[in-house]
Amino acid sequence: MTEEKAIGASSSVDVENSMVVSKQGHVDPTLEKHAHDADEAMKVLDELHGETIELNEATNRRLLKIIDWHMMPIMCFVYGMNFLDKTTLSYASIMGIKTDLNLQGDQYQWLSSLFYFGYLAWEYPTNRLLQRLPLGRYSATCIIIWGLILSCFAAVNSYSGAIAVRFFLGVFEAAVTPGFALITSQWYTKKEQGSRVNIWFSFNGVGQIIGGLIAYGIAVGTAKHGSSIEPWKIIFLVTGLLTIVLGFIFLWVIPDSQLNARWLSKEDRVLAVARVQVNQQGIGNKHFKMYQVKEAVLDPMTWAFFFYALISDIPNGGISNFFSQLITSFGYSDQESLILGVPGGAVEVISLLLNGYIGHITGYRILSSLGGLMCALIGMILIVALPETNNVGRLIGYYMTQASATSFVALLAMISSNVAGYTKKTTVAAFFLIGYCVGNIIGPQTFRPKDAPRYVPAEITIIVCLGVCLGIVLFVHWWYVKENKRKAEITSRPDYVRLQNQAFLDLTDRENMDFVYAL
């Protein structure tokens, strides 16, 4: 950021005298509508009545610190619970749930997948609601309800009851990832977004660490002292009630936008909007715009994101639901597998934070994310290639697979920073997470009961998927480099003119030639 920047505001947008000129040098009349259907940030600019405000580097650092300390802790802990709550079933699988619910054949595999059927069914509707309803309050409501649903798992005594809980758990968790991506793009500059997404997503690993410790403590404690209810029910109650508490904290802390942040002064709310003007994205728009949906569907990056999420989450869906059973297949006991899953979470945390740091300082977030993907690929090859007697080597291979999230997070951050137009952003996010759901539905099905305990066909499938993902990530990087060069050529033309307050007119990334894609 430059040492000082001035943000000019006017009470109206002069469409006739300030238009974006198309590639051919002609005014695009369709852009007139943007002046009358602008971003919510325009409310702030209108209230300034032509006053110019200045945002210097010291003020920007002060604001960033306030925003970080209020937003990031609760987002991180909620996202950690988001991972723990949907993978609690993996711990329960070796704590007695299979016997108590009389799960037969591939019923456990389907129970694992059913969460993602709920997620898939509600993904696009929840993205529309995230746009239409107050962002912070809607997200908080979903968190509280999914905590209640998870707690209800302790009352389940049949396979059909477990199906209902897993499905509706997926429905209400569907709002978290797209909601957090929108919140990040709303509050942070493009340069800041990549590291923040890596930070809150890394709490998936923290969730795995906490989950392993809780499950191990419950398993050991109930074995020694006994319990009036089954151990697997206790872990659902603990994680569910903790999620409810975090949901109410989220409701209190996270505002719908800078315009109603109770922990910012009126002056700082204006500055918080001004500091993200550089994104050329605005802070939110409640109007559904069909042309932006069409643009999203025709954008090659939408499909690159979709297929990456689908293919990369086949391994994720399998490993996240079977990691306890995978570790026992290495020759460790059920109790040992609970505690031995903890370092896997630490690997995910370290790889994501390291990836975020490297991407931030180099400016190449997409390419830096390949390191984690390659580490996971090598780890999976070790699991398959090493002999069954080499338990330690295969366990290390499993830990290496936990670095695979780096590229998924990099592309998730790309949705925050590289997709503009609020309707387009929510649509692309929906496509990405629909792919995520489909991949996670397929993943557990690759772990067939007849292949236990080695699950070699599933492991080979994972290796192939990781290899394809490497190619998709390289394609995404190449495409954005090409598009930035094309835009630079257009904006350098002498007949190119900008709309007044263009950053807050809810233009898409392909409409706005001043929009530069982050790499």
Those residues whose C-beta lies under 8 Å from the C-beta of residue 264, and which sit 6 or more positions away, are 66, 258, 272
Q: CATH number of the domain that 184 lies in?
A: 1.20.1250.20
55 strand-pairing partners: 5
Residue 358 has pLDDT above 60, yes or no: yes
Those residues whose C-beta lies under 8 Å from the C-beta of residue 93, and which sit 6 or more positions away, are 108, 324, 325
Is residue 150, in this structure, part of any structural domain at all? no
Residue 7 has pLDDT above 50, yes or no: no
Q: How many residues does the chain have?
A: 519
State residue 486's pLDDT score.
92
State residue 280's pLDDT score.
66
Is residue 43, in this structure, part of any structural domain at all? no
In this prediction, what percent of the chain has a pLDDT beyond 70? 86
Is residue 15, in this structure, part of any structural domain at all? no
Is residue 410, in this structure, part of any structural domain at all? yes
What is the spatial distance between Cα 502 and Cα 282, in angstroms, rounded to a whole number? Answer: 9
Is residue 440, in this structure, part of any structural domain at all? yes
What is the spatial distance between Cα 399 and Cα 330, in angstroms, rounded to a whole number? Answer: 13
Residue 308 has pLDDT above 90, yes or no: yes
Does residue 413 contact residue 278 with C-beta atoms inside 8 Å? no
pTM of the model: 0.79
Does residue 428 contact residue 92 with C-beta atoms inside 8 Å? no
State residue 5's pLDDT score.
37
Residue 97 has pLDDT above 60, yes or no: yes
Domain that holds residue 68: 53-133+174-232+260-504
What is the spatial distance between Cα 111 and Cα 86, in angstroms, rounded to a whole number? Answer: 11
Q: What is the mean pLDDT of residues 448-472?
A: 85
Number of structural domains found in the chain: 1
Q: Report residue 499 as tokens.
A: 């709309």
Those residues whose C-beta lies under 8 Å from the C-beta of residue 267, and which sit 6 or more positions away, are none
5 strand-pairing partners: 55
What is the spatial distance between Cα 43 and Cα 48, in angstroms, rounded to a whole number? Answer: 9
What is the spatial distance between Cα 466 and Cα 252, in angstroms, rounded to a whole number? Answer: 40
Burial of 494 (0-12, 13-18, 19+ CB in 10 A): exposed
| Burial letters 108-136, b for 16+ CB under 10 A, else e | bbbbbbbbbbbbbebbbebbebbbeebbb
Is residue 495, in this structure, part of any structural domain at all? yes
Q: How many CB atoms lie within 10 A of CB 335?
A: 16
**Phi, psi (deg, nearest 5) at residue 48:** -80, -15
Is residue 483, in this structure, part of any structural domain at all? yes
Q: For 326-349, write each residue's pLDDT tens digit.
A: 788 788 877 777 788 888 889 989
What is the spatial distance between Cα 407 and Cα 469, in angstroms, rounded to a whole number? Answer: 9
Those residues whose C-beta lies under 8 Å from the C-beta of residue 168, and which sit 6 or more positions away, are 118, 149
Q: How would residue 284 be classed by pLDDT, with cut points 50, 70 and 90?
A: low
What is the spatial distance between Cα 171 and Cα 144, in angstroms, rounded to a whole number? Answer: 13
Is residue 20, in this structure, part of any structural domain at all? no
Supply the DSSP string of 224-243, one letter for each residue: HH--SS-HHHHHHHHHHHHH
